[in-house]
Structure 1
């Protein structure tokens, strides 16, 4: 049995090997279609359970920014955008083309470029399949199959964990933040997306300065999986010379979003 299991495991590991948009090796066990299905189902539940905002000026504003970002994503994916009435400065994107923005974010993202930085970052998580990476590691353990099945059931600890792995755990009382490497990667992908869409990438730095000012006494970086605001700002500043030409080309090509 052991002789049979080893080749099977090797095939599984080889099939799970993938590469992120920035060239990093990834371990992805779950089919993209299954991840999309989970993202769509989780999003649907959130819209049923949490208050949303539609038909307002702010909802149209968020939709406009999100449309500009997703228009430059190299995919045929159709994206859905929902504004959730929530005072926290937060946003998320899920596999299956789902984007959520909290109304509280609009108090910190002061203009369309700063909002584009956040949405680009969250879409970057989806493009880089970060949720799949986290799910795949969990799936490789005994609890993986239980988690996938839990989404269809009622409220449970397993379902809360699954929502956390997808990236929306804060709403369900389970904080499972993306790792530092995932956050840094999403920052870079998001920066590229916003520049290609015609949003000023310089504003990503101002956004995180706003976040730092709004965050109060954040925990030390070594005690968190998230990079500190200062580290994040430095990382973004280091990438600005790469994306400025992309931004200039986008503007010259007529990509000049005016979302108000």
Structure 2
């Protein structure tokens, strides 16, 4: 019964979402890997980039206070050299990306983590580099993946989906006469129905764009497979794919193997230069 009511109200919810103002965009070109999905945005790129820049500076300031920012000059130089080669290839996917105000920093932390905020604000953690003993090719795989998230504006897309879901839940809650608990339940249903599959899709897109960026920059794209094998060894007991926002390791490795082979000609061409 609830499912029927939900389906019946969906057109009304979508109508409300549309009136708020959404935009269908193609954030990147397809590249050799063929990422061509259009995206629906309800917040502007400028808003997300401004917020990201502010958050990034706050993170750097806090890291500086803790003496956790760029402590190893040689390591920072290594990471920035790899990043600069990748950034130089971003025009394949977006003509404006090489002109972003890119920043690349290394944070001293035991976390196995790296990220790239909207507009090109990158951080990689020493735990990821040191504990997994990453090669230059594997660092390029990590950073290419994170840069791809920024190129595709995945953060903006997720924020937009959250905005749309929030509006939908509020409308449904009012119409169905349910209280806060009911709205919360509907919100959870919306999350697992709409957001989790898209998150898996985001990861797959970032993987594919990432291996192409690495290959074009002269890094072996097959290093993405060895990287995720190392990550898999640290993720024993991870939840099954249908309960996770990320693809399972087996699924990810198969896809990375496939797309790394597809871009090997680009790697050979770049290595010959």
Question: Is this a same-fold pair by TM over 0.5?
Answer: yes
* Alignment RMSD (CA, Å): 2.4
Q: Does 1:103 align with 2:123?
A: no
> Greater Rg, structure 1 or structure 2?
2
User: Does the CA-based 8 Å contact 1:108-1:214 persist in structure 2?
Assistant: no
Further displaced range: 181-190 or 237-246: 237-246
Indicate the residue corresponding to 1:232 in structure 2.
252
CA distance in 2, matches of 1:39, 1:86: 21
Indicate the residue corresponding to 1:39 in structure 2.
52
CA distance in 1, matches of 2:222, 2:166: 45
Structure 2: any 5+ residue segments left out of the alignment?
Answer: 1-14, 29-34, 92-96, 168-195
Corresponding pairs, count: 215
Indicate the residue corresponding to 1:66 in structure 2.
83
CA distance in 1, matches of 2:124, 2:197: 17
Partner SS for 2:122? strand
The offset of 1:56, in angstroms, is 2.0
Q: Does 1:196 align with 2:213?
A: no
CA distance in 2, matches of 1:18, 1:133: 10
The offset of 1:110, in angstroms, is 2.0
CA distance in 2, matches of 1:8, 1:215: 38
Q: Does 1:12 align with 2:25?
A: no
TM-score by length of 2: 0.72
The offset of 1:188, in angstroms, is 0.4
Q: For the structure 1 residues 33 and 57, does the alpha-carbon distance in structure 2 shift closer, same or farther, using more than 3 Å as the test? A: same
CA distance in 1, matches of 2:40, 2:242: 25
Q: 1:134 aligns with which of 158, 165, 179?
A: 158
Q: Does 1:213 align with 2:233?
A: yes
Indicate the residue corresponding to 1:122 in structure 2.
146
CA distance in 2, matches of 1:247, 1:179: 28
- For residues 165-213 of structure 1, the C-alpha deviation after alignment (integer angstroms, 9 at most, x for no partner) is xxxxxxxxxxx99710000000001011000100001111111111111
Partner SS for 1:216? coil
Q: For the structure 1 residues 184 and 200, does the alpha-carbon distance in structure 2 shift closer, same or farther, using more than 3 Å as the test? A: same
Q: 1:29 aligns with which of 38, 42, 49?
A: 42
The offset of 1:72, in angstroms, is 1.2
CA distance in 2, matches of 1:230, 1:60: 34
Q: Does 1:243 align with 2:243?
A: no
Structure 1: any 5+ residue segments left out of the alignment?
Answer: 1-5, 144-175, 254-260
Q: Does 1:183 align with 2:203?
A: yes
- For residues 204-223 of structure 1, the C-alpha deviation after alignment (integer angstroms, 9 at most, x for no partner) is 11111111112232222222
Partner SS for 1:101? strand
Indicate the residue corresponding to 1:93 in structure 2.
116
CA distance in 1, matches of 2:145, 2:108: 21
More helix by proportion, 1 or 2? 2
- For residues 85-122 of structure 1, the C-alpha deviation after alignment (integer angstroms, 9 at most, x for no partner) is 11011100001220000001112252000010000000
